[in-house]
A = this chain, B = another copy of it.
């Protein structure tokens, strides 16, 4: 769906034919800007450059090139210092926006999302969530679980993930910043 056009302000990745555009490459490297080198079929692979660089051999399927770009962007966003992460926004009309996309949230999920977003990247306890979702008193115990589940499904297309921290609570994070263990 979202091919690849980063409509937000992601780090801009430049495509460079190599070695023809070696000058461009060194210029981009000097500015610390990420880039992907496009090598001809017979060009030997370049020596490892800095960590803001990647390469592909052309001809290449467009999907593969886009994947390379995503991986490079992900490495920069996840590990580097200058994260230009797109901040998700929740407006008062029940719209959850991130990147150019958005979803509409029903009242309960809107309040839950507000609580999670206010503590983006940190743990929100179940009690705090219940308090946020039902200020006048919570319904049954499982209502929260179900609404978290539904909110999860609704936020999935926006690549936002609600992680559960067992016996502690929940944590909202961008899909690109994941826990270190190997779980989807």
Collect the chain B residues with CB atoms within 8 Å of residue A181's CB.
29-30, 103, 154, 157
A179 at interface by CB-CB < 8 Å: yes
Q: How many subunits of this chain does the assembly comprise?
A: 2
Q: Looking at the assembled complex, report how far the CB atom of A45 sits from the nearest CB atom of chain B, in whole angstroms.
A: 3
Collect the chain B residues with CB atoms within 8 Å of residue A171's CB.
95
| A20 and B101 alpha carbons, distance in the complex (Å) | 33
- Taking A51-B75, A95-B123, A104-B166 as contacts, is the C-beta distance between A45 and B67 under 8 angstroms? yes
A interface bracket (residues with beta carbon within 8 Å of B): 35 or more
Q: Give residues in A with beta carbon < 8 Å to B.
A: 25-27, 29-30, 32, 44-48, 50-51, 54-55, 57, 63-64, 66-68, 70-71, 73-75, 78-83, 91, 93-95, 99-104, 106-107, 122-123, 154, 157-158, 163, 165-169, 171, 176-183
Could you jot down 26 A-B contacts, CB within 8 Å?
A29-B182, A30-B182, A45-B66, A45-B68, A47-B70, A48-B73, A48-B75, A51-B75, A51-B78, A57-B64, A75-B75, A78-B101, A79-B99, A80-B82, A81-B82, A91-B122, A93-B168, A103-B179, A104-B163, A104-B166, A104-B179, A106-B167, A154-B181, A157-B180, A157-B181, A157-B182
